[in-house]
Amino acid sequence: MSQMLDRPDFGVIAGWVKRGERVLDLGCGDGALLKLLIETRGVRGYGVDIDDANVLAAIANGINVIQSNLDAGLAGFVDGAFDHVVLSRTLQTVRHTQEVLGAMLRVGREAVVSFPNFGYWKNRAAVLNGRMPVSEDLPYQWYDTPNVRFFTMLDFEDLCARMNILVRERQVLDEQGRLVTEEHNFLGSLAVYRITRS
Amino acid sequence: MLIGFFLDEYVSSKSGSVGIVAAQSAHFDAPLELKSGAVVPAYDLVYETYGTLNAAKSNAILVCHALSGHHHIAGTYADNPKSLGWWDNLVGPGRPLDTERFFIVGVNNLGGCHGSTGPSSPNPASGKPWGADFPVVTVEDWVQAQARLADYLGIDSWAAVIGGSLGGMQALQWAIDLPRRIRHALVIAAAPKLTAQNIAFNDVARQAILTDPDFHGGHFYQHQTTPKRGLRLARMLGHITYLSDNQMGKKFGRELRNTDGGFSFGYGVEFEIESYLRAQGDKFADVFDANTYLLMTKSLDYFDPAHRHNDDLALALKPALAKFLVISFTTDWRFAPSRSREIVNALLKNDQDVSYAEISSNFGHDSFLLAEPQYHAVLSAYLGRVKL
């Protein structure tokens, strides 16, 4: 399972998806997560991605992929069409954060969102040292990053509360992909949330 | 870069042409009842094949043509080195429709003018060309006729049916009408039905033909003439809608044919675009049948599989068992990406297997005929996973 080694959040997400579920993967990249879920969980689903190379790679992986930006991509799906809607490491690249979260919970019973935690201690240390953070989960320079939203786990949980979104479960990983069990917003590099409408 | 890797992998440098090809003809004696209620008592379909049908007969791909297309998709005829097939860049060893793996079938549709029975064929009742008496044939009728060709070739189920524009509509209709006989539908630069604007363009084209004094009510064959002026205008108009504004601007701009740069203050050919369009129109009017042009545009206008399902496209597509690949092109304004999205969204609503690629291309509707690398890579990647 090389995909799971490359992408530790995949293991967490796969653990939350039950056999035979319907899954929508937003920003699906080359379709590796959906492929993993199809092979190990027998799910049915679609990926959405805007990038030419990703769409081509997902098609080569045998994944149903829709080339679209997230807004238009979600508009095509009917309410409650999916058991899980996944947004893996993408929320921080989306400008219309609330709209996307709302749309995910419109088309899906439950959403799974993973994002780099800007509250991770190394990120805080970088800023204290006068530099924008660059790490395993934030691998970009400030001038070439696709990220447009910078938020911590606490910020995300605040937004969920404001939007009446219930956090069902969360798993937090460090840079090595190991589970963080305490001081999550300080020790966690990548956060994975299971959210639903409250 | 990732894109480079995939493009290299899927657009093989070893790709080549199918080489010299020859058309074949199949005769069908069983009458074909058309959607209009008219009956074609017997008919011929000309077709070409490339590659080899495997023992399980599971590797056949049907290529459906658009308004002015035909059965000659790839390769050249022995007696004419300039007779390159209209989708040659797609078909051949190592190309997206890989003849090392697939058995490709191209057919000239019923009502066509390239050898299949159509308005210019003799009407058995009179011995004279059918002309305007040839019944209007719809996309549904073509699917039925193509299914008979599949029977004739011993093909129970197509690995894929592929087409661009009106050809894509046939692929869609196949999936709806004969769901057990098509495993993949590749619907390119198509639409689930024409808009009022689309129909308007078609009607102006038809009016150009119908009002040409040489049309003779569709029976021009008996008058040893053809309505070339009308057909030429129809093609010129159509051609404008196949190109993008940007592409026309880049290719022709406001360039004048007269190189000294001055206006002639007259109505002759002056701008390069005029010269180009007229040449396109002339070329087309010399070879295409005016009645076939009328029939093809009418078939486009009538296409609307959702109509008898309360305009619910998802309901119309529900019987389909095929997996779908839908492709559109960013600068196609004749059948814009949003029209392809209608098809995609209907399939999504039904939880049917579909992938959708929106190809960045500057060449408008005609993009589907061109070898844009991402477009061909997507087709290769998709077809590479088709199980035989």
pLDDT along chain B (388 residues), means of 10: 45 74 97 97 97 98 97 97 96 97 98 97 93 96 98 98 98 98 98 98 98 97 96 97 95 88 88 95 97 98 98 98 98 98 97 98 97 98 97
Q: Which two tokens stand for residue B277?
A: 């369009």
* Residue B12: predicted pLDDT: 46
Contact B58, B159 (CB under 8 A): yes
* Residue B319: predicted pLDDT: 98
∠ Cα B202 B206 B209 (to 5°): 150
Cβ within 8 Å, pair B348-A65 = no
Higher pLDDT, A75 or B378: B378
Out of B365, B366, B367, B380, the active site residue is B365
Q: Is the pLDDT of residue A159 over 50?
A: yes
Cα–Cα distance for residue pair A43/A59, rounded to 1 Å: 17
Contact B64, B161 (CB under 8 A): yes
A53 touches chain B (CB under 8 A): yes
CB atoms within 10 A of CB B250: 10
List all residues 6 or more positions away from A46 whose beta carbon is below 8 Å from its beta carbon: A24, A25, A34, A63, A64, A65, A66, B348, B354
* Residue B14: predicted pLDDT: 56
Q: Which two tokens stand for residue B204?
A: 């102006």
- Side chain identity, residue A71: D
Task: Kindly list the residues from chain A whose CB atom is less than 8 angstroms away from the CB atom of residue B354.
Answer: 46, 64, 66
pLDDT tens across A97-135, in order?
999 999 999 999 999 999 999 999 999 999 999 999 998
Instruction: Report CA torsion sign: B141, B144, B147, B151.
Output: negative
Contact A84, A16 (CB under 8 A): yes
Cβ within 8 Å, pair B381-A52 = no
* Residue A5: predicted pLDDT: 45
Q: Among partner residues A44, A53, A78, which is closest to B349 by beta-carbon distance?
A: A78
Task: Kindly list the residues from chain A whose CB atom is less than 8 angstroms away from the CB atom of residue B356.
Answer: 65-68
Q: Is the pLDDT of residue A23 over 50?
A: yes
Cβ within 8 Å, pair A22-B356 = no
Q: Which two tokens stand for residue B326?
A: 């839908």
Task: Kindly list the residues from chain B whose CB atom is less than 8 angstroms away from the CB atom of residue A62.
Answer: 385
Say if pTM beats, i.e. exceeds, 0.90.
Answer: yes
Length of chain B in terms of residues written: 388
* Residue A175: predicted pLDDT: 92
Question: Of all helices (H) and strands (E), which one includes residue B229?
Answer: helix B228-242
Q: Which two tokens stand for residue B275?
A: 């010269």
Query: Between the CA of residue B18 and those of B4, B11, B99, what are the distances in Å?
Result: 26, 16, 8
Q: Is B332 among the residues known to form the active site?
A: yes
Q: Which two tokens stand for residue B5?
A: 């890797």
Cβ within 8 Å, pair A67-B374 = no
∠ Cα A154 A159 A162 (to 5°): 125
Contact B338, B138 (CB under 8 A): no
* Residue B259: predicted pLDDT: 73
* Residue B355: predicted pLDDT: 98
CA atoms within 13 A on the CB side of B210: 10
* Residue A6: predicted pLDDT: 64
Please state the rounded mean pLDDT for residues A6-12: 83
Contact B29, B70 (CB under 8 A): no
Instruction: Report CA torsion sign: A89, A91, A95, A96.
Output: positive
CB atoms within 10 A of CB B374: 22
* Residue A4: predicted pLDDT: 45
In angstroms, the separation between the Cα of residue A185 and the nearest Cα of chain B is 34
| Residue of B23, B15, B116 whose CA lies nearest to B78 | B23
Contact B48, B23 (CB under 8 A): yes
